[in-house]
Structure 1
Amino acid sequence: MFRALTTRRRVATRLFSSSRTSSGGICFATSSADAVVVAAETGLYGLDVLKTAKGFRRFVDEAISRSGELVSYISQLPPSMEVIRAMDEISDTVCSVIDSAELCRNTHPDREYVEEANKASMRINEYLHFLNTNNSLYTAIVKVEHGGALHTEEAQRAAHALRVDFENGGIHLSDEKLRRINKLKIEIAKLGKEFNENIILDPGSVDIFPASRIPKNIQHLCRTIYRPVPSDGSSKSWITRKEKGYRITTDSSTLSSILKWVSDAEVRKQSYMKGNSMPHANLDVLNKLINARHELAQIMEYKSYADFAIRPNMAGSPDVAMSFLLDLSKHVRCKADEEFNVIRECKRQYLNERNADLEPWDEAYFVGMVKSSAYSLDSSVIASYFSLSRCLEGLKMLVESLFGATFCQVPMMPGECWHPDVVKLSLHHPQEGGLGFMYLDLYSRKGKYSGCAHFAIRGGRLISKSEYQLPVVALVCDFIGSPGSLTSRLNHYEVETLFHEFGHALHSLLSRTDYQHFSGTRVVLDIAEIPSILFEYYAWDYRVLRTFARHETTGEVIPEKLVKTMNDARRRFAAMELQRQIFYSLIDLRIFGEQHNTPIDTVSMVADLKTQHTSWKHVKGTHWHTRFSHLINYGAGYYSYLYARCFAATIWHNICHEEPLSLDTGSILRERFLKYGGAKHPVNLLNDFIGNGIQSCNGGSIPDASSLLRELGL
């Protein structure tokens, strides 16, 4: 029941920021109503208990104490709405610790805070085990679900969701089975941690000589090395001269740059082979994870772990999700093959070899060459229109245009902020008042989470008829620069990512659920990414970009022709990129699907899927999936990203495209979708929202992919 309703990566969170008046040069209106509290002292995120790092210990103690009181209270209640309210308060109490610790672990510069947050996270998750195996709570929720005492659809849905969560933990099974389930969950968590640590600790490397084989623009990514040079070709006769070379660490990020920019095919091949065969240890880790998850599903009387994981989602079963993916694969194959042939022809012309074959390590390099030739785009020119301050102004404008609400910077109390660069914003509506708070922690620094994500600090919930607990989130990025810096400008991929995470944040800030259990992004996996992907469309629409994208020195509005060219380049190989996502989703589904008598050979499985569902061949000796961390995070749920892409495409074309910045469009988005969070059944939610954008399939539901396919010219 009390699953860790913690932050999902790329999902909003809450946090408070510093007393700075700007972030990257942007000046938000300052709320005078909050100025009076600036002298008061508080703790991290405005929580008095976190005035020191060791405050996390008391934070956990108080959460356990309050939850214990509520457990006793619930055990004495008759079936009623109060049971759901009290259970949601337990969830809110526990999640407050989990979410705060998660954000602190990823962003706080003080190691003591990070270490105490880690300990708090471990302790509170141990307490979750007690809650999830508490029979008095389970009995109470079973009685209330079937007792006829719940008067709202959201309360009924909450009771059902809580009961299912309890049973997914095995509480209804024998003591022996429950003990085994608990051991398996611990083992699964350890294996997931080991898998991710191996990716970081063992990325692989290749040594390249001479140094001239690596272009200057990426030499900073490599380590300089030297080797002695023989004087006469003999390995025994040396002179003092040494040849300079580079050691390339083949982590995913560096490998991506090597494959994109290095003209030397042999360097690309060596890097590809090494990077896609590391870490070797994860082959064994993954096999153990597959077995542990399968045994867990078997004890829970499911055919497979995929069946166990997908049953609560819209798809309802692995068969439905697989049917969706296979159908999409058929639709996209022809166009993807055409794109493959374009790249191959480019290579043949480049080498002047009519029969040259295309290898996987050629893709990024020749895709870049085709796009460069066709579109003449200069990333630095594009970035000159997207200073971070302008982009933040764009987000502010977007909220005002769509929802009639305003982001105002509010001062933080001493102790509330974790870094001087952090800013706190209040979202305010002229008629409704405050809607929530958002911390911005946008700049890269040592020890900070190296990516962009939305963290939820506090979910919204109805406390009484006249009082609502406002959501608090944090938008965390790793952009280069500092507040006010003239160099804080984004490439367009970063702009798109910022809009993506902002979509998650708005989902959290604009939801108005009775229970925090359903607040904002706390939805079934199949629809979690819809708001974020929808807001990516805004980052590509000229009508939106012209409102804020201006040249950093001339102030010129970004040219419409440039935006059109950017969009043309984006769509140039879109079918092949969609094919790649289908391939990833199929790997995830098959690996955690039904297991047979013989142990699964994941390398052969992935090789077969690549041959069947992509235009590219598998390279013998590689096992790319051993660094595919989404196998840990999603576990048979990666298909949901494509579900969300289809739904977002339908929403954009049916609702937003004609008037993307109108209050009418914003009203529809908010009133028919965003405000519900997870409080409404996703099928009913989407049917009421987009009508014919969802189809029934073998007891589950799949999205209509026609809008997405039309974007690709299919």
Structure 2
Amino acid sequence: MDFSSAMRRGFSASKCACRSLSSQSSSAIHAHGSTAGARSGLYGFEVLKTAKGFRRFVDEAIERSQELVSRMPQLRASEEIIGAMDEISNTVCTVVDSAEFCRNTHPDREFVEEANLASIKINEYIHCLNTNHILYSAVLKAEKECAFPTKEAERMAHSLRVDFEKGGIHLCPRKLERVNQLNSEIALLSREFSENIMRYPGSVDVFPATRIPNNIQHIMKPILPREKGKTKGFHITTDPATLSSILKWVPDPEVRRQAYIVGNSAPHANLDVIERLIAARHELSEIMGCKSYTEFATQANMASSPEIVHSFLVELSQIVRKKADEEFMAIRNLKRHETGETSGVLEPWDETYYTGILKSRTHDLDHSVVASYFPLQRCLDGLKSLVKSLFGATFYDVPLIPGESWHPSVVKLSLRHPDEGDLGFLYLDLYSRKGKYPGCAHFAIRGGRRLSAEEYQLPIVALVCNFSGSIGSANARLNHGELETLFHEFGHALHSLLSRTDYQHFSGTRVVFDFAETPANLFEYYAWDFRVLKTFARHYSTGDVIPEKLVKSLNSAKCTFAASELQRQIIYSLIDQALFGEQPSGKRDTISMINDLRRQHSCWNHEEGTHWHTRFTHLINYGAGYYSYLYAKCFASSIWKAVCREEPLSPAAGLLIRDKFLRHGGAREPAELLEELAGDQVLRRCSGGIVPDVSTLCEEMNL
């Protein structure tokens, strides 16, 4: 998942630290490291030396932005107008992104609370900016004059105008006021949805302790024993990561059932939150002249319309259905064989467990053996080696200045090229802890932009994961799914670090929804290729290179249930489209609607009383845009085949990926980048929108 501010609109559609906020000294700290006795603020921002520094951070951002707004009428040249607009966006979004990252990762409650307050206050100010007619008039003037020094500047003017109008600035005062109210309501509901997931993950108690396999007991909380030296049972918090482990490893079907039901019924409060969110988004879209939020959200994307998205999803569903049904039958037959129940029903909590068994037996896989070849530090070394091979750039450890980090386990890296110098900075926050964002994600802290002909503001990003273990621990080993996730998020980070755009509005991952996941999906391929894995995957104790036979087994196992996984993503996308699509006149039951879609497109049952979508955060961050993952899978498949498959580690492949793709961020049309990189067969144009070619992906999956 990508938490860059590309996921927002208007002035919060981009961000980068403005010099007046981050200061030259802050930039110098990031670039050159610590000096004796120096102390920094959080993320290197001097203003964030204390939690209450977020208040000053907001106030200074507003003061600087108001100064730029007041100067706007005096600016004449299009280039000056666009540059000032980008600095305003840069200024406020530094606060937005820093606060968002802080509230998701900081262990100190005071910092979290101050970040929350800062987020609310700066977002309220952003609404004022997005409805400021002085700024809107300046952008209209710049776009109309068409006197742009570069194509990126021209695209910038158009993008800003579209963003303004997405905020409703062109509407009458009454409608604009309501749009502002709805945007504020949507932001608050989105925050409430996410906070509910973190606060109320659900839990079950399991007795006796022997019902939980030894290999996952370390992530469970033991219930105090009555007899010394013996564990009575386990208190299991059904957060997504723990629930995944339970469903994968626990043989006891009743434990899996209880955990599945509780985990997919929490938090119950989000049923109401999602209903209110749907209603608010729908009203917003109607005011904006759209029939649905899906129409409002997709019209600026590559797809351009919900009809194109729906057609793409249904086509893919039909292609995958036959093989997915065959896979369902194979899982059901295995369950019946294992349990002796010849008429046994395959339940939702059975899938992960029995697919794991079938993969292990069919392809001679022992997941503990696989994980033994992926110590976390070696995986990080492998990523560094990959970047060196492809791009000629090197990651270096950077000492953290006191006050800069939010947790002792955080590591900071600098990406440096021998000809270009520093390219950007990457924080790694990889280990699980209480109160931390529960998944894996890429967060933008500061975007890149050109400050002058000689100076470039370097991007700062962070990767957040929740791996078991502690920093430097010999026990910190990844299963292959975790390795793939690490490579995925690293793809997002490289998109941010390697882009070189004039405006931070287009920096890195700040692209349209249905293009943003493409680099991340492309880098997943590297986690499956033996030519790549043999460069770093070594046994934690013997140092032996991972056997090629084992990697082949992993790839075969991946293909075994690839249709089922693809079908799941299709269903998630269809559900996302349906929830935010055209609304009925009366009240509807979203749980029944989701159940109906699942029945239409798969063989799987729905467990009554569960509502997994109440912690499906993509409904918040990617509302009406979850299909973008499938777009990305198709695009990445075509790029891999055209550019990387023959020699995945070649500098020639890296040069193409960087110069024709990552370098441009959102500064060029995605379709143009894709066609230049992988050829015109990578997509097709229809009804004013872009649809990815699915043939390469289907070929990979033997569909």
Q: TM-score, normalised by structure 1?
A: 0.89
- Greater mean deviation of Cα atoms: 206-215 or 120-129: 206-215
Partner of residue 432, structure 1: 420
Provide the aligned C-alpha RMSD in A: 2.7
Cα distance in 2 for partners of 1:551, 1:451 equals 27
Q: CA deviation at 1:297?
A: 0.5
Cα distance in 2 for partners of 1:670, 1:679 equals 14
Identify if the C-alpha distance between structure 1 residues 148 and 214 changes in structure 2 by more than 3 Å, giving closer, same or farther: closer
Q: CA deviation at 1:614?
A: 1.2
Q: CA deviation at 1:655?
A: 0.6
Partner of residue 648, structure 2: 660
Amino acid aligned to 1:615 = C
Amino acid aligned to 2:524 = E
**Secondary structure in structure 2 of the residue aligned to 1:146:** helix
The answer to whether the 8 Å contact 2:373/2:537 transfers is yes
Amino acid aligned to 1:577 = E
Cα distance in 2 for partners of 1:32, 1:335 equals 51
The answer to whether the 8 Å contact 1:7/1:454 transfers is no
Identify if the C-alpha distance between structure 1 residues 213 and 452 changes in structure 2 by more than 3 Å, giving closer, same or farther: closer
Q: CA deviation at 1:213?
A: 4.9
Amino acid aligned to 1:125 = N
Identity %, equivalent residues = 64
Q: CA deviation at 1:223?
A: 6.3
The answer to whether the 8 Å contact 2:15/2:505 transfers is no
Partner of residue 524, structure 1: 512
The answer to whether the 8 Å contact 1:208/1:248 transfers is yes
Partner of residue 677, structure 1: 665
The answer to whether the 8 Å contact 1:38/1:414 transfers is no
The answer to whether the 8 Å contact 2:30/2:44 transfers is no
Cα distance in 1 for partners of 2:287, 2:196 equals 29
Q: CA deviation at 1:127?
A: 1.3
Amino acid aligned to 2:628 = S
**Secondary structure in structure 2 of the residue aligned to 1:464:** coil
Q: CA deviation at 1:606?
A: 1.0
Aligned counterpart for 2:289 among listed residues 301, 310, 321: 301
Output aligned runs, 1:618-633, within 5 Å. Answer: 618-633=606-621
Partner of residue 155, structure 1: 153
Cα distance in 2 for partners of 1:437, 1:285 equals 37
- CA offsets, 1:568-610, max 9 Å, x none? 1122111001100100000000111112322222122111111
**Secondary structure in structure 2 of the residue aligned to 1:450:** coil
Identify if the C-alpha distance between structure 1 residues 645 and 434 changes in structure 2 by more than 3 Å, giving closer, same or farther: same
Amino acid aligned to 2:354 = F
Residue 342 (structure 1) aligned with residue 340 (structure 2): no
Output aligned runs, 1:413-424, within 5 Å. Answer: 413-424=401-412
The answer to whether the 8 Å contact 1:260/1:368 transfers is yes
- CA offsets, 1:661-699, max 9 Å, x none? 011000000010000000001122222222220111222
**Is the radius of gyration larger for structure 1 or structure 2?**
1
- Greater mean deviation of Cα atoms: 593-602 or 538-547: 593-602
- Greater mean deviation of Cα atoms: 589-598 or 673-682: 589-598
Q: CA deviation at 1:271?
A: 4.0
Cα distance in 2 for partners of 1:140, 1:453 equals 36
Identify if the C-alpha distance between structure 1 residues 484 and 618 changes in structure 2 by more than 3 Å, giving closer, same or farther: closer
Cα distance in 2 for partners of 1:396, 1:333 equals 39
Q: CA deviation at 1:56?
A: 2.2
Partner of residue 234, structure 1: none
Output aligned runs, 1:55-134, within 5 Å. Answer: 55-134=53-132
Q: CA deviation at 1:86?
A: 0.8
- Greater mean deviation of Cα atoms: 125-134 or 323-332: 125-134
Partner of residue 25, structure 2: none
**Secondary structure in structure 2 of the residue aligned to 1:477:** strand
Identify if the C-alpha distance between structure 1 residues 223 and 712 changes in structure 2 by more than 3 Å, giving closer, same or farther: same
Aligned counterpart for 1:694 among listed residues 676, 679, 683: 683
Amino acid aligned to 1:701 = I
Cα distance in 1 for partners of 2:37, 2:260 equals 56
Amino acid aligned to 1:191 = L
Identify if the C-alpha distance between structure 1 residues 83 and 389 changes in structure 2 by more than 3 Å, giving closer, same or farther: same
**Secondary structure in structure 2 of the residue aligned to 1:695:** strand
Aligned counterpart for 1:475 among listed residues 443, 459, 463: 463
Output aligned runs, 1:220-619, within 5 Å. Answer: 221=220, 224=223, 249-619=237-607
The answer to whether the 8 Å contact 1:38/1:413 transfers is no
Identify if the C-alpha distance between structure 1 residues 488 and 140 changes in structure 2 by more than 3 Å, giving closer, same or farther: same
Partner of residue 712, structure 1: 701
Identify if the C-alpha distance between structure 1 residues 46 and 281 changes in structure 2 by more than 3 Å, giving closer, same or farther: closer
Partner of residue 4, structure 1: 12
The number of residues matched between the two structures is 678
Identify if the C-alpha distance between structure 1 residues 657 and 551 changes in structure 2 by more than 3 Å, giving closer, same or farther: same
RCO higher in structure (CA 8 A, sep ≥6): 1
The answer to whether the 8 Å contact 1:38/1:411 transfers is no
Cα distance in 1 for partners of 2:456, 2:382 equals 29
Identify if the C-alpha distance between structure 1 residues 612 and 447 changes in structure 2 by more than 3 Å, giving closer, same or farther: closer
Identify if the C-alpha distance between structure 1 residues 679 and 347 changes in structure 2 by more than 3 Å, giving closer, same or farther: same
**Secondary structure in structure 2 of the residue aligned to 1:465:** coil
Query: Which runs of 5 or more structure 2 residues have no equivalent in the other structure?
Result: 1-8, 17-21, 23-28
Q: TM-score, normalised by structure 2?
A: 0.91
Cα distance in 1 for partners of 2:336, 2:186 equals 47
Partner of residue 44, structure 1: 42
Aligned counterpart for 1:137 among listed residues 135, 138, 144: 135
Amino acid aligned to 1:73 = R
Identify if the C-alpha distance between structure 1 residues 424 and 265 changes in structure 2 by more than 3 Å, giving closer, same or farther: closer
Cα distance in 2 for partners of 1:610, 1:36 equals 55
Identify if the C-alpha distance between structure 1 residues 422 and 572 changes in structure 2 by more than 3 Å, giving closer, same or farther: same
- CA offsets, 1:12-32, max 9 Å, x none? xx9xxxxxxxxxxxxxxxx99
Cα distance in 2 for partners of 1:252, 1:415 equals 31
Partner of residue 231, structure 1: none
Amino acid aligned to 2:377 = S
